[in-house]
Amino acid sequence: MERLDEIIKKDMKELLYDAKTIQKRIVELGENITDFYKNESNELVVVGILRGSCMFYSDLIKCINLPIHIDFMAISSYGSSSTSGIVKIIKDIEEDIMGKNVLIVEDIIDTGKTLKYLLNYFRERGANSVKVASLLDKPKRRLVEISGDFVGFEVPDDFIVGYGLDYNQSYRNIPYIVSLKREVYS
Ligand code: IMP
Ligand code: MG
């Protein structure tokens, strides 16, 4: 097999955020989240959206200085990538979230359609509140009016991979965030 660092050297357009910068930002997000929920008496359930949020999730929850329950949801979008807005649930959460505070942890907000679906999904199940932590935000591509509550970085309208984010299931295990050359994904 070809080494991953060699593949990235060929396919990368730009290094956006190195591992140290990502960790520093996650510490800040953890502090903001802790501050936001510290006076809440309801339970906090932190729901990671698989698979893209895996790395962000595990680093972020270590920086939340409050008791939490962890849970996961695996979803995929119908049709080409995320444009349809119809979300298929592959694995549902296991917690009963009635009356609890839900913090969704996402990798990236792109068109916003996935997030819109998830917000409705948790609200309909009786959550006391639903907030969103997203590592990345790509506001130029937004099709529905929606924004994250705790956002790591704003990224340009390129295809982004690494630190959990994939292109065709590849590149997820790169410990930093890069944009891909257009010829790699078009
Ligand atoms: P949305 O519904 O268009 O906001 O799509 C959100 C989902 O699409 C994310 O959770 C990602 O899985 C995927 N996605 C959107 N943009 C990118 C990208 O630049 N790189 C990798 N995945 C992306
Ligand atoms: Mg994805």
| pLDDT tens digits, one per residue of 38-58 | 999 999 999 999 999 999 999
Asked if residues 136 and 152 have their Cβ atoms less than 8 Å apart, the reply is yes
Which residues sit with their C-beta closer than 6 Å to ligand 1? 52, 82, 106-115, 159-161, 165-166
pLDDT in tens, 66-122: 999 999 999 987 655 556 777 899 999 999 999 999 999 999 999 999 999 999 999
Report residue 152 as tokens. Answer: 């790591």
**d(CA 160, ligand 1 centre) in Å:** 9
Atom of ligand 1 nearest to the CA of 167: 21
Give 91: exposed, middle or buried? Use CB within 10 Å, 0-12, 13-18, 19+. exposed
Q: Which one of 105, 165, 178 would you pick to mutate in the ligand 1 pocket, going by the greatest count of ligand atoms within 8 A of its CB?
A: 165
Among 11, 107, 110, 137, which one carries the catalytic annotation?
110
User: Does the structure show a pLDDT above 70 at 8?
Assistant: yes
Which pTM was predicted? 0.96
pLDDT confidence of residue 76: 87
User: DSSP for 51-120?
Assistant: TTTHHHHHHHHTT--S--EEEEEEEEESSSTTSS--EEEEE---S--TTSEEEEEEEEESSSHHHHHHHH
Would you state the pLDDT for residue 77?
76
